[in-house]
């Protein structure tokens, strides 16, 4: 049994989950809502459509990670179904990577579907040239969700679903505020400033995956930015999954 098998099963479970269906429906509902609000936007309907569309992908994806991802491992531990899996010649890290890959793939599918719907709507409004910027923004949001999923899987190896969701949400908030943490650190002297800067560096730098400002004006980002964001996401995911594997290996399932 390989990570691919675990990933495929996790993907199938996620896709069949009613939460995911609800999320996709909510995403389409937000896109429809933008068209209802468009007449009130005094000529800024396109901007409103793109901003709300991209934000809904990010927030709805986060919701899936917190509802599904945070309990990915801990639920199997509670139900004792993990014993069946780990009794086979399946290294625990392979199991964890498979779980992460499966849910991440499901999230990529959702992000791609909603991103395509957004582009189709924007094209219907007479602006087909926004394909590049929307595609890049959705790609970066997919990377962000993949990273947060890795964090959720790590916490899920350690704790209960509720606590895992809370810890994951906390890391998400920290990741959005790491630039502000660095700025605040500059106002304090010595050791405390270094502690704050260290915390900012440990938190995932989620602002790296944000190009919504550019997307709403149809602009694209540089290949360097995309490459850096991809590399950073892979490194951080690897780190989080390695920590999760260490935590899972230290647990004695009896």
Partner 1 sequence: MAVSWAVALALGAAAFALAHWSARALPRPAPFGELAYYPSGRYLRPAVLGHPETAADLAWLRAVQYYGEHRRTDNRFDQLAHVFDILTALSPGFQSAYVFGSFALAQEGGRFPQAERLMRSGLENNPTSGRLAFEAGFLYYVRPGGRDLAHAAECFELASRLPGGPPSATRFAAFARQNSGSLVVAYALWADVLNTSSNRYMREAAEREMQRIRLAIESRRESLARDRLGVPGVIVRPGS
Nearer to partner 1, 164 or 216 (CB): 216
Q: Which residues contact 199 (CB under 8 A, 6 or more apart)?
A: 174, 181
CA angle 8, 14, 19 (to 5 degrees): 175
Alpha-carbon distance 126 to 85, whole Å?
A: 52
Q: How far is CA 11 from CA 3, 162, 185, 229, in A?
A: 12, 22, 41, 24
Binding part of the chain for partner 1, among 15-23, 46-54, 70-78, 157-165 by CB under 8 A, reads 46-54
Alpha-carbon distance 158 to 174, whole Å?
A: 20
One of 6, 20, 58, 118 touching partner 1 (CB under 8 A): 58
**Closest approach of partner 1 to the CB of residue 31, in Å:** 13
Nearer to partner 1, 31 or 243 (CB): 31
Mark residues 211-230: x for contact with partner 1 by CB under 8 A, - for none: -xx--xx-------------
Q: Does 32 bind partner 1 (CB under 8 A)?
A: no
CA angle 229, 15, 91 (to 5 degrees): 70
Nearer to partner 1, 44 or 249 (CB): 44
Nearer to partner 1, 48 or 246 (CB): 48
Nearer to partner 1, 165 or 248 (CB): 165
Tokens standing for 141? Answer: 């949001």
Q: What stretches of 65-176 adopt beta strand conformation (E)? A: none
Binding residues for partner 1, rule CB under 8 A, total 25
Which H or E run contains 106?
A: helix 92-124
Q: Does 78 bind partner 1 (CB under 8 A)?
A: no
Interface residues with partner 1 (CB under 8 A)? 37, 40-44, 47-48, 51-52, 54-55, 58-59, 173, 176-177, 180, 206-207, 210, 212-213, 216-217
């Amino acid at each position: 049994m390989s990570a691919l098998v675990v990933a495929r099963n996790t993907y199938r479970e996620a896709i069949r989950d009613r939460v995911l269906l609800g999320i996709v429906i909510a995403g389409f509902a937000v896109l429809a809502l933008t068209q209802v609000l468009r007449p009130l936007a005094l000529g800024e309907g396109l901007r409103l459509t793109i901003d709300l569309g991209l934000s809904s992908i990010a927030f709805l994806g986060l919701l899936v990670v917190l509802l599904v991802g945070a309990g990915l491992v801990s639920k199997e531990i509670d139900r004792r179904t993990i014993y069946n899996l780990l009794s086979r010649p399946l290294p625990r890290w392979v199991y964890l990577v498979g779980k992460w890959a499966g849910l991440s793939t499901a999230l990529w599918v959702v992000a791609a579907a909603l991103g395509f719907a957004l582009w189709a709507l924007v094209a219907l409004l007479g602006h087909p040239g926004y394909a590049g910027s929307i595609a890049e923004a959705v790609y970066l949001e997919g990377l962000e969700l993949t990273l947060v999923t890795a964090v959720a899987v790590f916490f899920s190896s350690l704790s209960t679903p509720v606590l895992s969701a809370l810890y994951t949400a906390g890391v998400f908030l920290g990741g959005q505020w790491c630039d502000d943490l660095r700025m605040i650190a500059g106002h304090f002297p010595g050791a405390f400033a270094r502690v704050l800067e260290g915390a900012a560096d440990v938190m995932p730098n989620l602002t790296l995956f944000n190009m919504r400002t550019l997307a709403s004006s149809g602009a694209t980002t540089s290949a360097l930015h995309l490459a850096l964001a991809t590399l950073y996401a892979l490194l951080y995911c690897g780190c989080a999954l390695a920590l999760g594997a260490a935590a899972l290996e230290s647990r004695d399932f009896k």
